[in-house]
Structure 1
Amino acid sequence: MNTTQKKFDVAVIGGGVIGSAVAYFLLKQDPQLSVCVMEPDPTYEYASALRSSGGCRVQFTGEENIAMSLFSIDFIKNFERTMSTGKHPAHVDWVEGGYLFIVPPEHAAQLEKNAAFQRSQGATVELLSPSELKDRFPAMHVGDLGAGAHTPHDGWCDPNGLLWGFRHKAVDLGAVYIAARVVGAETSGVKAVSVRLDDGATVRADAFVNATGAWSGDVAKMFGMNLPVSPMRRFEHYFTPGTKVGHLPYVKDLSRLAFRSEGQGYSGGLVDGSAARGYNFEVDHDYFENVVWPAVAHRFPAFEAAKCHRTWSGLYEVNELDGNAVIGAWNSRLPNLYTVAGFSGHGMMHAPAAGLAIAELIVKGRYETLDLTRLGYERVENNRPYPELGIL
């Protein structure tokens, strides 16, 4: 297709799990739309979702995040049935392994408050005392803990299957994927008019969606928009203990240690939120021994003899304002430019809900299923953070 001669109804910039979810829901909302998705790397070598552990949880304090999780988890559970095409099955290997947040005594009251709010929003949450944690997870050291919150219906899936499931289904519904990188944008008055690709082509559209994840801040600049989203390297590890630990849910604590059962071992890491920003995929093979191993061995002494089998890197798309996603139109300047980025590590789990929300906003002019108004760009313009309270 000669994209230079083609104008689309909607042009989605970024064909990862978020962009592909947007394309799918746009065409579900209105099958007559012409939708293109511009993705420079069809192999998705550096796609953030494919370098994640696939976790999905309801343990948030923002009602929008809880609502997005409840919607997305239900969508992912039914993904294989609803998203398969004639040519492509949509396997995502959902595991309802649960999540477990653990905190020291001085944070127990906040965890209990968070759990009460999550229950009021429709989530299932069990509060566990240190002795109950020990009974449930005998290998855990609980002497310095005050409480735990267990959400049994949370879990994890295969991010690769989720991304390709959305992409295959979007194509099946009529989306056009263009293997090129956006390198510039043209605006006129109060409209985004076109984007320029690195192959020299120009793509025009009535609406544009910035779904470029860790690259979204740079893409926003092309439109003259200040989006405080930065790329930040983080590591995942696959490791095994010296003695038996047993099946674990996705365990998270205030230090940002996070890991879960994976096959015969465990997958996870410890995020350094102060890490230098930038597009860095180099692997620090000492990070597990220096940072993760002491933390995981403290919590589960069986990991004193842990062996790390593999380490890989990926990027978080960090919203430097408040760590929450920016979802919505740039109403004050370019109302036909939509942003769905800045998830700060929660993009894969919220992709179904965020994709639907942006599609509704474009097609119907309003949110219908989930009201995500408070996650709009206005809070960035007004410098009014809307942060999570507790474990990130």
Structure 2
Amino acid sequence: MDTSTQVKKYDVVVIGGGIVGSSVAYFLLQAAPHLSVCVVEPDSTYEFASALRSSGGCRVQFTGEENIAMSLFSLDFIRHFEERMATAKQPVHVDWVEGGYLFIVPPEHAAQLEKNVAVQRAQGCTVDLLSPGELKSRFPAMYVDDLGAGAHTPHDGWCDPNGLLWGFRRKAVELGAVYVAARVTGARCDAAKAVAVELDNGASLAAEAFVNATGAWSGDVAKLFGMHLPISPVRRFEHYFTPGSHVGHLPYVKDMSRLAFRSEGKGYSGGLVDGSAVRGYNFEVDHDYFENVVWPAVAHRFPAFEAAKCHRTWSGLYEVNELDGNPVIGAWNSRLPNLYTVAGFSGHGMMHAPAAGRGIAELVVHGRYQTIDLARLGYERVERNEPYPEKGIL
């Protein structure tokens, strides 16, 4: 059969089968089991999937009402993932660790951190606001003399992104989703809606609705539909390292320089994001980055890391929304209202995947949000050039 003339029709085509896209597929079929859902994912090994190259952190420490609400739902969903998402044929393991998050700031930012904590507590989050002395008491290995305050959320934590991704994917397939191993190379649209996408194997997929969930690649996929989406791929590094002397268990520690690391087995996993890095699909590893950038920062904060040893470094991509560092979630209402975007999480895709997937499913099935109102994260703010007002440490 000549695949160039082959056109298959589905109710929904989800472009991108990573954690976010597979979450969309799962929640679509939970909400409407009768739907035909196709997920287009070019690489079933997920070799370059951003979430699988991350450290799997999940936190409530945001200030935007929508971000906090998405965190609260997603954290609960991930905590109970293994019991909810096992298939008839296979269990699922996400290895949830409730290790906590700790944001630390210098004195000049302590007042803002206190305001952030008040917002989080108002939405039901458990947050301890700690003075430098309290930080030292709770985390004795930490240097605190240049700090003004810290916010500790004990119920945050981290999980195995690979288990989460495959748990969503296998459950979506059990519910009826069809995964196609191909890459979207083109799109056909009429005056009012998206009609079909073309694949690199010569086939075409028509649908009533399309979802762009391609993460770091979402800006390029949006261009196929004639849509400007200010999302860029940015290389980041993750490192596994050990200290020279005892530090003990640490939560996920984050500071304003974007240093972020946590306990992992007998060592620690994390890095320091360079927000000014050249944009592009670059997976090369700079093996000097830990020594030149991360080590000085981590050794300053925890002197026991003065003799740190880096055992492994790997790279991955952030899908950075250049407008405001927050996701675009919603339909392109002004041009192609059946084209939905769920991308641009800027490092928070895994932690918000359950809530974002449910949100897109609600829009597609019901035409409106039914749980968390994510309208402020819609594409309209991109069209208006109005950043989402998130004051949390990103």
How many residue pairs align between the two structures? 392
| Equivalent residue, structure 2, for 1:161 | 163
| Equivalent residue, structure 1, for 2:13 | 11
| Equivalent residue, structure 2, for 1:267 | 269
In structure 2, how many angstroms separate the alpha carbons of the residues matched to 1:97 and 1:189?
A: 51
The one-letter code of the counterpart of 2:333 is: N
1:279-312 superposed Cα distances (whole Å, 9 cap, x missing partner): 0000000000000000000000000000000000
Question: Runs of 4 or more off by more than 3 Å in structure 1?
Answer: none
Question: Is the CA contact (8 Å cut-off) linking 2:17 and 2:40 kept in structure 1?
Answer: yes
1:149-185 superposed Cα distances (whole Å, 9 cap, x missing partner): 0000000000000000000000000000000000000
In structure 2, how many angstroms separate the alpha carbons of the residues matched to 1:85 and 1:228?
A: 37
| Equivalent residue, structure 2, for 1:103 | 105
The one-letter code of the counterpart of 1:310 is: R
Deviation of 1:364 after TM superposition, in Å, equals 0.4
Q: Does 1:278 align with 2:305?
A: no
Question: Is the CA contact (8 Å cut-off) linking 1:323 and 1:387 kept in structure 2?
Answer: no
1:319-366 superposed Cα distances (whole Å, 9 cap, x missing partner): 000000000000000000000000000000000000000000000000
Q: TM-score, normalised by structure 2?
A: 0.99
In structure 1, how many angstroms separate the alpha carbons of the residues matched to 2:384 and 2:393?
A: 25
Deviation of 1:223 after TM superposition, in Å, equals 0.2
Q: Does 1:76 align with 2:78?
A: yes
| 1:58 alignment partner, SS class | coil
Deviation of 1:391 after TM superposition, in Å, equals 1.1
| Equivalent residue, structure 2, for 1:213 | 215
Deviation of 1:108 after TM superposition, in Å, equals 0.2
Q: Does 1:359 align with 2:361?
A: yes
Unpaired segments ≥5 residues, structure 2:
none
| Equivalent residue, structure 1, for 2:321 | 319
| 1:6 alignment partner, SS class | strand
Q: Does 1:338 align with 2:340?
A: yes
Deviation of 1:5 after TM superposition, in Å, equals 3.6
Q: Does 1:201 align with 2:203?
A: yes
Within the candidate set 370, 374, 377, 1:375 is matched to: 377
In structure 2, how many angstroms separate the alpha carbons of the residues matched to 1:246 and 1:355?
A: 36
In structure 1, how many angstroms separate the alpha carbons of the residues matched to 2:233 and 2:34?
A: 35
In structure 2, how many angstroms separate the alpha carbons of the residues matched to 1:6 and 1:90?
A: 31
The one-letter code of the counterpart of 1:268 is: G
Deviation of 1:390 after TM superposition, in Å, equals 3.6
Unpaired segments ≥5 residues, structure 1:
none
| Equivalent residue, structure 1, for 2:305 | 303
Deviation of 1:110 after TM superposition, in Å, equals 0.2
Deviation of 1:388 after TM superposition, in Å, equals 1.9
| Equivalent residue, structure 2, for 1:288 | 290
In structure 2, how many angstroms separate the alpha carbons of the residues matched to 1:362 and 1:178?
A: 21
Deviation of 1:95 after TM superposition, in Å, equals 0.3
Query: Which residues in structure 2 correspond to 1:22-33 (within 5 Å)?
Result: 22-33=24-35
Query: Which residues in structure 2 correspond to 1:92-171 (within 5 Å)?
Result: 92-171=94-173
In structure 1, how many angstroms separate the alpha carbons of the residues matched to 2:186 and 2:360?
A: 23
1:174-232 superposed Cα distances (whole Å, 9 cap, x missing partner): 00000000000000011100000000000000000000000000000000000000000
Question: Is the CA contact (8 Å cut-off) linking 1:139 and 1:300 kept in structure 2?
Answer: yes
In structure 2, how many angstroms separate the alpha carbons of the residues matched to 1:45 and 1:333?
A: 34
Deviation of 1:389 after TM superposition, in Å, equals 1.0
Deviation of 1:81 after TM superposition, in Å, equals 0.3
Deviation of 1:387 after TM superposition, in Å, equals 3.7
| 2:6 alignment partner, SS class | helix
In structure 2, how many angstroms separate the alpha carbons of the residues matched to 1:96 and 1:317?
A: 26
The one-letter code of the counterpart of 1:249 is: P
Identity of aligned residues (%): 82
In structure 2, how many angstroms separate the alpha carbons of the residues matched to 1:138 and 1:328?
A: 45
Question: Is the CA contact (8 Å cut-off) linking 1:40 and 1:181 kept in structure 2?
Answer: yes
Question: Is the CA contact (8 Å cut-off) linking 1:329 and 1:335 kept in structure 2?
Answer: yes
Deviation of 1:4 after TM superposition, in Å, equals 2.6
Deviation of 1:369 after TM superposition, in Å, equals 1.0
Deviation of 1:127 after TM superposition, in Å, equals 0.3
Question: Is the CA contact (8 Å cut-off) linking 1:324 and 1:387 kept in structure 2?
Answer: no
In structure 2, how many angstroms separate the alpha carbons of the residues matched to 1:158 and 1:31?
A: 28
Query: Which residues in structure 2 correspond to 1:229-240 (within 5 Å)?
Result: 229-240=231-242
The one-letter code of the counterpart of 2:332 is: W
Deviation of 1:317 after TM superposition, in Å, equals 0.2
